[in-house]
Amino acid sequence: MPLVLTPLPGLPLIQPGDPLDVLILKALEGAGISLVEGDILVLAQKIVSKAEGRLVNLARVVPSPHSVEVAGQVEKDPRLVDLILRESQEILRTRPGAIIVEHRLGFVCANAGIDHSNVKGEGTDAEEWVLLLPEDPDRSAETLRRRLEAVSGARLGVLIIDSHGRAWRTGTAGVAIGLSGLPGLVDLRGQLDLFGYQLRITQIGAADELAAAASLVMGQAAEATPVVHVRGFPYPLREASLTELLRPKDLDLFR
């Protein structure tokens, strides 16, 4: 079966408290898609964060002295730096304009994934508002998956993605930050290649590969297509979590 990714049109701008399952089902109906066994829904992190009320008004943030000190080093708003530090376990690297951290969820990213783009809260100054990552993206994916499965009667997968940079490449790419019902890693160790050689180290970051493909379909600016329907995923669905994609610190050569 070919892998087919279809962005869902017609989704409204998401507000805190909006029922994503209801809105996605309506968008699927509008696109003429019925959910079947093995389908996957990929969601941009922003709509999950917005629905969960993860918007923060910088005008209400009082930065700590440490945040003010770090802000001076990286040339960022101390209020934003305060939020970055709250959302992080450890600062790994800094330079003017960027703070690379280990997020409290365990992965490495810039600025704790906090974003200004495509974010608007109450009031007149959109730049005062920022958006944090979901509190628990795996749980968010699991909750949405169960609701969609209850309606469709089909076994599904749900993937929540964000755009991250990489230590060894320029440019961002879509990566998984939360998943339910589909594998993060696909372990091919022990299988034979085309010439009978037994694979020894090959593990595929299947969730990240799908995240990158879906991100390409979603776009990064004003496309307004934050949900992608996927059919034909080439690996069996199973229970999984983000943890299987996180490299242990003692194996991380970039720390």
Q: What value does the mean pLDDT take over residues 62-88?
A: 96
DSSP, res 115: B
Domain membership of residue 254 (yes or no) is: no
Whole-angstrom distance, CA of residue 189 vs CA of residue 18: 43
Sole residue written with tokens 């995923």: 233
Task: Provide the pLDDT confidence category of residue 121 given band limits of 50, 70 and 90.
Answer: low
- Which range (46-50, 182-186, 187-191) has the least confidence? 187-191
Q: Structure tokens of 93?
A: 């690297």
Supply the mean pLDDT for the chain. Answer: 93
Q: What value does the mean pLDDT take over residues 195-205?
A: 91
Does residue 90 share a domain with residue 145?
Answer: no
Whole-angstrom distance, CA of residue 84 vs CA of residue 71: 10
User: How many domains does the chain divide into?
Assistant: 2
Using a pLDDT cut of 90, give the percent of the chain over it: 80
Would you say residue 115 has pLDDT above 90?
A: no
Q: Which of 131, 165, 192 is the last residue of a domain?
A: 131
Domain membership of residue 119 (yes or no) is: yes
Task: Provide the pLDDT confidence category of residue 157 given band limits of 50, 70 and 90.
Answer: very high
- Nearest CA-CA partner of 12 in 34, 27, 30: 27
Q: What value does the mean pLDDT take over residues 25-38?
A: 97
Would you say residue 164 has pLDDT above 60?
A: yes
Task: Provide the pLDDT confidence category of residue 251 given band limits of 50, 70 and 90.
Answer: confident
Does residue 61 share a domain with residue 163?
Answer: no
Q: List the CATH number of the domain containing 60.
A: 3.90.1660.10
Q: Residue 32 has what pLDDT? A: 96
pTM for the structure as a whole: 0.93
Whole-angstrom distance, CA of residue 153 vs CA of residue 124: 44
Domain membership of residue 115 (yes or no) is: yes
Q: Residue 162 has what pLDDT? A: 96
Q: Structure tokens of 224?
A: 């307004």
Would you say residue 125 has pLDDT above 60?
A: no
Would you say residue 124 has pLDDT above 60?
A: no
Q: Residue 119 has what pLDDT? A: 66
DSSP, res 201: S
Domain membership of residue 142 (yes or no) is: yes
Would you say residue 127 has pLDDT above 80?
A: no
Nearest-10 Cα torsion for 4, 176, 154, 237: 90
Domain membership of residue 46 (yes or no) is: yes
Would you say residue 116 has pLDDT above 90?
A: no
> Which residues, including other chains, have CB under 8 Å from residue 212's CB and lie 6 or more apart?
173, 174, 175
Q: Residue 120 has what pLDDT? A: 62
Domain that holds residue 64: 55-131
Q: Which of 131, 164, 192 is the last residue of a domain?
A: 131
Q: Which of 99, 131, 163 is the last residue of a domain?
A: 131
